[in-house]
Amino acid sequence: MSAKNAYICDVLVVGAGLAAERSAVEAAEAGLNVIILSLVPPRRSHSTAAQGGMQASLGNAALAKGDNPKIHFEDTVKGSDWGCDQEVAKMFCETVPIMIRQLDYWGVPWNRVTAGKKKLPSGIEVEDTKDKEGLITARDFGGVAKWRCCYTSDGTGHTVQFVVDTVVCKLGIPVHDRMEAIAIIHDGETCYGVVARCLRTGELNVYLAKSTVIATGGAGRIYAASTNAVINEGTGAAIALNTGLVPLGNMEAVQFHPTGMPPVFILMTEGARGDGGYLLDKNLHRFMPDYEPKKKELASRDVVSRRMIQHIRAGYGVQSKYAPQHLWLDIRHLGRQWVWTNLREIATIAGNFNGLDPAKDLVPVVPTQHYTMGGVRTNKWGYAYGLKGLFAIGEAACWDLHGFNRLGGNSLAETVTAGYIVGKQIVKYTLGATQDFNYKLVEDFVKQEEERIKNLISGKNGKEDVFEIRDAMQQTMMDHVHIFRTGPSLEQGVAKLQELYRRSLKIGLHSSGQGANPELAQALRMPGMLRTALCVAYGGLMRTESRGSHFREDYPKRDDANWLKRTLAYWKEGADLPTLDYEPVACPIMPPGDRGYGEATAGPKGK
Amino acid sequence: MGRQLSFSIFRYNPNIPGDAPRMQEYKLEEYEGMTLFVALNDIREKLDPTLMFDFVCRAAICGSCAMMINGRPGLACKTMTGTLPSRINLMPLPVFKLIGDLSVDTGTWFRNLQVRTESWIHTNKKFDPEALEVRMENKTAEAIYEPERCIECGCCVASCITANIRDDFLGATGINRVGRFLIDPRDERTDAEYFEVVGSEEGAFGCVGLMACDDNCPIELPLQQQLAFVRRKMAQAGLKLDLKGMKIS
């Protein structure tokens, strides 16, 4: 066995979600030769599952009046708990309105302003004025001062991905779907491309490029319960980490979305609360105003998720067939017309999976792993640390727009905005680069992957079961590295993950591994997933403060004196723990302060 | 104790030399809330790690997992085993190229469809980053969103007698896609230009009207209406063309 095919291109984009495709468009429009690799066809990417919308300060809706990039920036920094890169956030907030309008030009059917007086579920009356009629409207979302979340019903990710993919089709950019990058080819200084395994045939291919872009999304599936698609196993970030040279930034920053629907943990959009929905407890009491009198259900996600668990711990959780403990999402008062027009996707999901109609039924919800703030650490232009010719964007990257908590609607916005901004940098770098590789080096990387595959098939290193190890990892993350964290529990979690990591190096297949064997695909990913999980758990153990989504019960306060810094996790060859390094987080525009919601503002018990 | 479920699953991996198509039996005990997503993963992880199938979102929004479920096309992820008899027969979708077992290549088929129908906004306007968006009525945006919701799962294609006998038929999904651009004011194509794309028997006139597409669409797109709409538009456009495709009115 050796590499079946070798492809040479200017820009290789690994992943076909929104960040990936938007950067590919930028490169292709500059005349570069681009290839997109993806586990799945682009329109099946997890970007399409984004529901609620995309934050951009257009200021068209009644309660959006006066909005601007500066307010969006302030909301983003507060949301991040001062963990984000403020230069990146500023650039992002200034660019995203143009991105929304460009998506409109390309064909996204954004919902529009209709003029007239409206009574909101909160009782407030607002008026959308005639001068804004027909412009792109927005809905309310968590942790924001203005209505800024532009949407198409609650299928925003779907429409945006489909439209960006039309541009990819129009430009004729080749997409090699069912092709998984399994190793980065590099010489210690420069990235030359990847070794990829074809998920149709099982064959190995080589892709060589001047620029390689990691845009493979998040790693939610290191947890047993996640809103993420089953393909979100962090594969791209894991192969970057595996070089030993490229660090993952802030992996301990994991977002738990307040409203995953048990027992399947599919997302119920934040738009449900943005549009006026409530959270209720077992007594059908609306409890969020007790904890967060100002923002209520629309504090940031980290805060709402913690308040929900706090309330469950206080004995107010619902016990039902859906989950041992959960709360209710109530959107009945929004009315059937609104629910089945603007929240249609989640209404359908509630019907499909629990037989519920949210226009008349309460929907069970529980905070669920949702987003990976950390990822391949890049500079503000998207260049990955550690290797020349390597870029990262979107959820796979730590650019770092989100710091320790991402605002709802900022991820979909990040994908296209980073695709555009970093895309321009990729063009600039690629035009100045030459393709100069040593074929022996390429062959050595292919051989190494062939060797891994051979050993997994023959069981040379052991007979450990890949699915058993995966399940144990996912459960460990649930038990020890979840919303509320403590030193002793994290230590146990790290120890368990280390043991599982060592076992993952001894996986042997139960099947023949022939063709596009799914057991082999999982086995190839498993050590990388465990390294990623260890970056999360160990980074969390060492960060002795609470910031955004990283909450340490033994260190419940944000500690700006010691921890205004970003974790960089490296994986050295032969190690069974990441090596952590830190870099300062500068706050050049907005010094650390009060978020306006959360425990530090509203107090531990609220009220 | 739940029911004993008996699965009969199509097996064939064209990439393994000597492999032959066959049906294979598996037994599982059913439990509350079991979907085919859960069941198939249980089979793969506990009984047979070679079994090939596709899931991505497992929320019925990505369209990856369409298959023939007891003879009807549907999304496996949202199919509750409780709605099925205890014998469950699973086959790959017809029409699409088989990758292996229950996995078929819908990606290539749909990409070809987009390219053939040029399913992107055609406009001579240049994007102006300084300008406000062009205004649109909200009800127009909602009308575009309706057909735009198609998740390209392929159930309508698998259901379609015409698609099953001719390779070049666009299927309800293709006609729906064209219908989406037809009503979009941003697309500047004329009816005559659309006629070139769908005014033929590979397009709107290939449909023989059995409407299984409409019955089997897992997201309940109004495919029958869309077909009628596109046909009517194309019939009108056709009447305005002479045989050489020149506009005479």
CB < 8 Å to B119, chain A? 166, 169
pLDDT band at B67, cuts 50/70/90? Answer: very high
What architecture (CATH level 2) is domain B4-104?
Roll (3.10)
CA distance B213 to chain A (A): 19
Check whether A477 has a pLDDT greater than 70: yes
User: CA-CA distances (angstroms) from residue A298 to A140, A600, B3?
Assistant: 8, 16, 44
Rg of chain B over Cα atoms, rounded to whole angstroms, equals 21
pLDDT at A602: 87
pLDDT at A306: 97
**Cβ atoms A401, A410 nearer than 8 A:** yes
DSSP B30: -
pLDDT digits 0-9 by tens, A526-544? 999 999 999 999 999 999 9
Check whether A607 has a pLDDT greater than 70: no
Tell me whether A102 touches chain B (CB under 8 Å): yes
Task: Say if the Cβ atoms of B142 and A352 lie within 8 Å.
Answer: no
Q: Identify which of A104, A133, A516 has the shortest CB distance to residue B52.
A: A516
When scoring B148, B181, B221 by the number of chain A Cβ atoms within 10 A, the one with the most, hence best to mutate, is: B148
Task: Say if the Cβ atoms of A514 and B16 lie within 8 Å.
Answer: yes
What is the DSSP code string of B191-233? HHHHHHHHSSTTTTTS--S--HHHHH-TT---HHHHHHHHHHH
Residue partners of A145: CB distance under 8 A and separation at least 6: A67, A71, A74, A75
Task: Say if the Cβ atoms of A514 and B15 lie within 8 Å.
Answer: yes
Q: Which pTM was predicted?
A: 0.97
Check whether B170 has a pLDDT greater than 80: yes
CB < 8 Å to A509, chain B? 49
Chain A nearest-CA residue for B64 = A44
CA distance A249 to chain B (A): 26
pLDDT at A43: 98
> B117-248: which CATH topology?
Fumarate Reductase Iron-sulfur Protein; Chain B, domain 2 (1.10.1060)
Task: Say if the Cβ atoms of A105 and B107 lie within 8 Å.
Answer: no
Task: Say if the Cβ atoms of A102 and B62 lie within 8 Å.
Answer: no
pLDDT digits 0-9 by tens, B114-155? 999 999 999 999 999 999 999 999 999 999 999 999 999 999
Task: Say if the Cβ atoms of A109 and B129 lie within 8 Å.
Answer: no
Task: Say if the Cβ atoms of B219 and A263 lie within 8 Å.
Answer: no
pLDDT band at A410, cuts 50/70/90? Answer: very high
SS (H, E, C) A431-481: HCCCCCCCHHHHHHHHHHHHHHHHHHHHCCCCCECHHHHHHHHHHHHHHHC
| Rounded (to 5) percent helix, strand, coil in chain A | 40, 20, 40
pLDDT at B242: 58
- C-alpha B148/C-alpha A156 separation (Å) is 11
User: CA-CA distances (angstroms) from residue B83 to A384, B35, B63, B88?
Assistant: 49, 10, 20, 11
CB < 8 Å to A515, chain B? 13, 15-16, 100
Tell me whether A512 touches chain B (CB under 8 Å): yes
pLDDT at A7: 97
When scoring A105, A159, A356 by the number of chain B Cβ atoms within 10 A, the one with the most, hence best to mutate, is: A105
Q: Identify which of B35, B48, B110 has the shortest CB distance to residue A41.
A: B110
CA distance B86 to chain A (A): 20
pLDDT at B114: 96
pLDDT digits 0-9 by tens, B71-124? 999 999 999 999 999 999 999 999 999 999 999 999 999 999 999 999 999 999
pLDDT at B244: 52
CB < 8 Å to A40, chain B? 54, 56, 62, 64, 107
pLDDT at A436: 83
CB < 8 Å to A162, chain B? 148
Provide the mean pLDDT of chain A.
Answer: 96
pLDDT at A4: 81
The domain locations on chain B are 4-104, 117-248
* Orientation of helix A156-171 relative to helix A18-29, angle to 10°: 30
**Cβ atoms B180, B148 nearer than 8 A:** yes
Catalytic residues of A: 257, 273
**Cβ atoms A221, A39 nearer than 8 A:** no
pLDDT at B249: 41
Check whether A1 has a pLDDT greater than 60: no
Query: For residues B41, B43, B46 and B51, what is the CA-based torsion angle, rounded to 10 degrees?
Result: -90
Residue partners of A536: CB distance under 8 A and separation at least 6: A222, A251, A252, A254, A374, A477, A481
CB < 8 Å to B42, chain A? none
Tell me whether A582 touches chain B (CB under 8 Å): no
Task: Say if the Cβ atoms of A44 and B62 lie within 8 Å.
Answer: yes
Task: Say if the Cβ atoms of A512 and B45 lie within 8 Å.
Answer: no
Chain A nearest-CA residue for B81 = A353
Q: In a 3-state reduction of DSSP, which class is residue A78?
A: helix
Task: Say if the Cβ atoms of B115 and A169 lie within 8 Å.
Answer: yes
Q: Which one, of A357, A290, A354, lies nearest residue A326 by Cα?
A: A354
Interface size A-B, in CB pairs within 8 Å, comes to 188
- C-alpha B40/C-alpha A134 separation (Å) is 47
Give me the percent of chain A exceeding a pLDDT of 70.
99
Interface of A with B in 208-237 (CB under 8 A): 229-231
User: CA-CA distances (angstroms) from residue B132 to A116, A129, A175, A201, B115?
Assistant: 21, 17, 33, 48, 30
Q: What is the H or E stretch that residue A412 is in?
A: helix A410-431
Q: Identify which of A134, A170, A514 has the shortest CB distance to residue B135.
A: A134
Tell me whether A159 touches chain B (CB under 8 Å): yes
pLDDT at A101: 98
Task: Say if the Cβ atoms of A48 and B55 lie within 8 Å.
Answer: no
Check whether A511 has a pLDDT greater than 70: yes
Check whether B247 has a pLDDT greater than 80: no
- Residue identified by tokens 């819908």 is B106
**Cβ atoms A373, A352 nearer than 8 A:** no
pLDDT band at B227, cuts 50/70/90? Answer: very high
Task: Say if the Cβ atoms of A166 and B63 lie within 8 Å.
Answer: no
CA distance A100 to chain B (A): 9
- For residues B6-26, one letter each, b for 16 or more C-beta atoms within 10 angstroms of the residue's C-beta and e for the rest, the string is ebebbbebebbeeeeeeeeeb
**Cβ atoms A35, A12 nearer than 8 A:** yes
Q: Which one, of A267, A160, A220, lies nearest residue A395 by Cα?
A: A220
